[in-house]
C-alpha cells in the first residue's frame, strides 16, 4: 500500500488485532499479524521488503524470538507491549519493562526499543513513530565484552556488527523517503539535538548561528536574489531539526530590528522601512508551519 508503514506483530492473543486496526489508520499502516513465532520469523526473514517496525505482545515468546532475531542479525525498530498483571506474579520481563519505561538504560531487544503498556494502546501510533525515529538515530554497537550484551538476554549471541545496523538504518531511511515522501523528514530529527536538551553554551552557539543566518535573509529579502529561498529553507530546517520555539524566532527578529533601528538613528534616517521586514518574519513562520504540517505524523 503506497505511503504505508508495514508493521509485523507477534501476539499470543487475537484480542490485539481489532484494537490495532482501530488505532492504526489503514491508509498509513499495513499490519501483518502472527500468533506463532515460527510464522512471524519466517515472514521477517523472507519478505522482499522488510517490515518497518516490529510489535511484540507476547511475554512467553518474547525472549526466544528476540534471541533468534539477534542470531540472524535482524535489528529493527520495535515496540514491546506489556500486559499489566499482579505484582506477585510479575516476571523479570515485566520488571525490565518498568525499568525501561522509567528511563533506565536496560533494554530487551535493542537500545532504541519503545515499551508501551497495554492500557496505553491508544498511543501505539506515537510509539511506532518514536521507535522508528530512535532507531534511525541509534549508534552502532560494537560488543567488546560480555557487558556489551543486553543485560536481560542470557546468551552468547553477539549484537550484530555496526555495518549491518548502518545498512538497516539506510534501508529504512530510503524506504521512508520513497514511500512517505516529505513525511520522512520527521524521522530524521534527533531529540538529543533539540534546543531544550542543549547546554547553555550549545544553546547560545545555535542562537548566534541562527541570528547570523537571519540577518542575511533580512538584508537580501527585498533584493533581486535567486538564493533567498534557499537561505530561508536552510534557516527553517535548522529551526525544525532543533525543535526551536517560534518565540525564539520572534526574539531573533526583534533583536535584529533593534540593532537596525539604532543604526538608522545614528545615520539620521527614519525607521519606517523596518516595518516592511515584518513580511520576512511572517514568511519564515509560514515556511516553518508548512514544514511541520507536511512532515509530522498525524498521531504526534
pLDDT of residue 154: 38
pTM of this prediction exceeds 0.85: no
Residue 84 has pLDDT above 80, yes or no: no
> What mean pLDDT, rounded, does the chain reach?
76
Q: What is the pLDDT of residues 147-191, one digit of tens each?
A: 444 444 433 334 445 555 677 777 677 666 655 555 556 666 777
pLDDT of residue 40: 92
CATH 3.40.50.300 is right for the domain spanning 192-295? no
Chain region(s) in the chain for CATH 3.40.50.2300:
5-188
Closest by CA to 19, choosing from 11, 164, 5, is: 11
CATH homologous superfamily for the domain 5-188: Response regulator (3.40.50.2300)
Residue 142 has pLDDT above 70, yes or no: no
Q: Strands 114-117 and 53-57: what pairing?
A: unpaired
The confidence band for 249, taking pLDDT boundaries of 50, 70 and 90, is very high
Q: What is the pLDDT of residues 228-244, one digit of tens each?
A: 888 888 899 899 889 99
Please state the rounded mean pLDDT for residues 258-281: 82
Residue 55, beta-bridge partner list: 9, 79
Residue 133 to residue 109: CA distance in whole angstroms? 16
Q: What is the pLDDT of residues 6-36, one digit of tens each?
A: 899 999 877 788 888 888 877 778 889 998 8
* SS3 call for 91: coil
The confidence band for 93, taking pLDDT boundaries of 50, 70 and 90, is very low
Higher pLDDT, 269 or 10: 10
pLDDT of residue 195: 92
Residue 218 to residue 215: CA distance in whole angstroms? 5
Residue 206 has pLDDT above 90, yes or no: yes
pLDDT of residue 215: 92
Please state the rounded mean pLDDT for residues 44-59: 82
Higher pLDDT, 67 or 163: 67
Q: Strands 5-11 and 53-57: what pairing?
A: parallel
C-alpha cell at 227: 538564493
* SS3 call for 54: strand
Higher pLDDT, 295 or 48: 295
Chain region(s) in the chain for CATH 1.10.1240.30:
192-295
Q: What angle do CA 125, 22, 299 make, to 5 degrees?
A: 25
Higher pLDDT, 196 or 26: 196
The confidence band for 46, taking pLDDT boundaries of 50, 70 and 90, is confident
Amino acid at each position: 500500500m503506497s505511503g504505508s508503514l508495514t508493521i509485523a506483530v507477534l501476539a499470543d492473543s487475537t484480542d490485539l488485532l481489532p484494537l490495532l486496526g482501530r488505532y492504526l489508520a489503514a491508509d498509513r499502516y499495513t499490519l501483518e499479524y502472527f500468533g506463532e513465532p515460527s510464522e512471524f520469523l519466517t515472514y521477517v526473514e523472507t519478505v522482499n521488503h522488510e517490515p518497518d517496525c516490529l510489535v511484540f505482545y507476547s511475554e512467553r515468546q518474547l525472549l526466544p524470538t528476540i534471541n533468534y532475531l539477534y542470531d540472524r542479525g535482524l535489528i529493527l525498530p520495535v515496540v514491546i507491549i506489556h500486559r499489566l498483571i499482579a505484582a506477585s506474579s510479575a516476571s523479570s520481563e515485566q520488571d525490565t519493562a518498568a525499568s525501561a519505561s522509567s528511563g533506565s538504560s536496560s533494554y530487551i531487544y535493542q537500545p532504541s526499543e519503545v515499551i508501551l503498556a497495554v492500557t496505553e494502546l491508544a498511543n501505539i501510533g506515537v510509539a511506532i513513530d518514536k521507535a522508528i525515529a530512535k532507531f534511525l538515530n541509534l549508534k552502532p554497537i560494537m560488543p567488546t565484552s560480555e557487558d556489551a550484551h543486553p543485560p536481560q538476554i542470557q546468551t552468547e549471541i553477539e549484537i550484530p556488527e555496526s555495518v549491518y545496523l548502518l545498512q538497516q538504518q539506510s534501508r529504512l531511511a530510503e524506504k521512508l523517503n520513497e514511500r512517505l515522501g516529505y513525511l520522512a523528514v520527521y524521522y530524521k530529527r534527533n531529540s538529543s539535538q533539540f534546543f531544550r536538551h542543549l547546554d547553555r553554551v550549545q544553546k547560545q552557539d545555535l542562537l548566534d548561528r541562527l541570528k547570523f543566518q537571519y540577518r542575511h535573509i533580512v538584508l537580501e529579502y527585498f533584493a533581486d536574489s535567486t538564493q533567498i529561498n534557499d537561505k530561508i529553507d536552510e534557516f527553517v530546517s535548522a529551526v525544525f531539526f532543533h525543535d526551536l520555539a517560534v518565540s525564539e524566532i520572534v526574539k531573533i527578529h526583534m533583536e535584529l530590528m533593534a540593532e537596525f533601528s539604532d543604526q538608522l538613528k545614528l545615520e539620521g534616517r527614519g525607521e519606517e522601512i523596518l516595518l516592511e521586514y515584518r513580511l520576512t518574519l511572517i514568511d519564515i513562520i509560514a515556511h516553518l508551519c508548512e514544514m511541520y504540517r507536511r512532515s509530522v505524523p498525524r498521531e504526534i
